Amino acid sequence: MTAPIRVGVAAALAAVLCLAGPLASAQQAKPAAATRADLRPIFVTAPDIAEGKRLADVSCTRCHGTNGISATAGVPHVASQRAPYIYAQLKDYLQGKRPQSAMTGTVTFLSDDALVKVSAYYASLDPPRPAPQPAKPAAPRPDPYQAGRALAADCAGCHGEGGVTETPGAPSLVGFDPKYFLAAMNAYKSGQRNDDVMKPIAAPLKEPDLSHLALYYALQKPARAKTPSAGDAAAGKAAASSCGGCHGDKGVASDPGTPSLAGQDAQYLATATLAYKDGSRKDETMKGVVADLKEKAMRDIAAYYASQQPQAPKVRKPLSLTELAERCDRCHGINGNSADPVVPAIAAQRVDWLEQVLNAYRTGARKSVAMSAMVSVLSDAEIKELATHYSRQTARAVTFVVLPNK
Ligand code: HEC
Ligand code: HEC
Ligand code: HEC
Ligand code: HEC
């Protein structure tokens, strides 16, 4: 007699994991996800799986569908999900670690042994079929950076190539947080900021063009304006001591709604400061601050800030769907076919569920260190795109080795 082969789901998955060669470097980027205390190998026999099916038919099928393929919005497919992941989730529901849901009541009535068997049963099933590809592939999302770059061609004549001005009086557009940039453009549109040059330029621009422009300039390499500066920068440094609290010591503001002044065209800075004082540019905060400044001090402060080094705001270049999915696949496996027992497979999962879960991680309703870091930077549009992408991937069955009967 040969000894029974002690190969369980976890071990089999570990073998799959080793084969996933190209992912090797990606695996290193993974945090402690794979060391969950409640991760356990699941060793089952054919009768265990049959018992799992019996339990599932009684307790799970009415929501998760026949064979673990859900036909209900908001209820995930569980067919061919990784068994240790299913088991860990059932424990999480049991212990209240996942938000209150239809699951909470269901699992309380099952023994630990039952949870193991039902997990193994669902893991052993054929995976769901992917959502159909669209008849006509959707046009790829326009690259917001390239869109901004195209629009910025009309601005370069006054604001300089890449937003570094060569025209005294016309500000550089580098170094601004997109929030300030958008507020400035909208102020020209609404007339709240009254400027005969910018008003007709801003008027026809709408979202998303404005955001594309703001992003383009935020991602340009900051450099000092290539314009002369008349004031006394050393005197300006002392006079600017009352400005640093909002605009930053060296003119790099940390609040996204406050403009950075570092490296800005000196003539523009002086004119803008005067405009706040005489009320032609309306802003309650700035009006009070500059009320007592003499024109010489304004020019000196302008010269000081103009001589400082501008910095790029903290803005991430948006990633394409391919680039995003590449990052997800580092943990979730090729096209969402996870080879790691504690990372769920997401290929061919329901699109509504994927979107719902990603939003839950983003709001913190569902907690996961690995996932909250990933999704915190995603936009609504990116979440929708990723959900659609993974729902359309072909799911591969788990390599599932059943122990010989006892
Ligand atoms: C009353 C309906 C209902 C029943 C019965 C039910 N489920 Fe669920 N199940 C849900 C819903 C809804 C969710 C999504 C909950 C959430 O938002 O976390 C879910 C989530 C899950 C998940 C998490 C999947 C994932 O990808 O994260 C697993 C695993 C699961 N169910 C397994 C089971 C098993 C096994 C049973 C039977 C023992 C069962 N469910 C019974 C409705 C049900
Ligand atoms: C004909 C020259 C000219 C063109 C073309 C032009 N601008 Fe301007 N822009 C100016 C001047 C002058 C100001 C300063 C106006 C003021 O004092 O409010 C300005 C101000 C701005 C500001 C406010 C900056 C700040 O520091 O508050 C933004 C933002 C801006 N322009 C964006 C653009 C964009 C985007 C385009 C292209 C779509 C553009 N401008 C085209 C001349 C121009
Ligand atoms: C309490 C915070 C605060 C202080 C202090 C402050 N500022 Fe400002 N400043 C702002 C805000 C907010 C804006 C944007 C207002 C707007 O949208 O017009 C601004 C705008 C400006 C602008 C226009 C920049 C541009 O790109 O259009 C200049 C120039 C300026 N400040 C100079 C100064 C100077 C000089 C001092 C010191 C004497 C100073 N500020 C002190 C908050 C402050
Ligand atoms: C660092 C590894 C890692 C990365 C990168 C990662 N995930 Fe996850 N993901 C996990 C782990 C671990 C879980 C299970 C967490 C839990 O128990 O709630 C998970 C859970 C999920 C779930 C829940 C599935 C379900 O059925 O409940 C979805 C959906 C998901 N990830 C999608 C993504 C997407 C989309 C990306 C890329 C934007 C991504 N993940 C990137 C590790 C990762």
Q: Is 232 in the pocket of ligand 2 (CB under 6 A)?
A: no
pLDDT band at 226 (very low <50, low <70, confident <90, very high): very high
40 Cα: distance to centroid of ligand 3 (angstroms): 59
Mean pLDDT of the 237-257 span: 96
197 touches 184 (CB < 8 A): no
Q: What is the dihedral of CA 160, 166, 171, 174, to 10 degrees?
A: 50
* Ligand having the closest approach to the CA of 329: 4
Pocket-testing residue among 159, 278, 281, ligand 2, by greatest number of atoms within 8 A of Cβ = 159
Q: What is the pLDDT of residue 32?
A: 40
Cα dist from 364 to 36, 89, 306, 361, 375, whole Å:
19, 17, 43, 5, 10
pLDDT tens for each residue of 273-305 = 999 999 999 999 999 999 999 999 999 999 999
Residue 402: which of 138, 132, 29, 52 has the closest Cα? 52
pLDDT > 50? residue 394: yes
pLDDT band at 232 (very low <50, low <70, confident <90, very high): very high
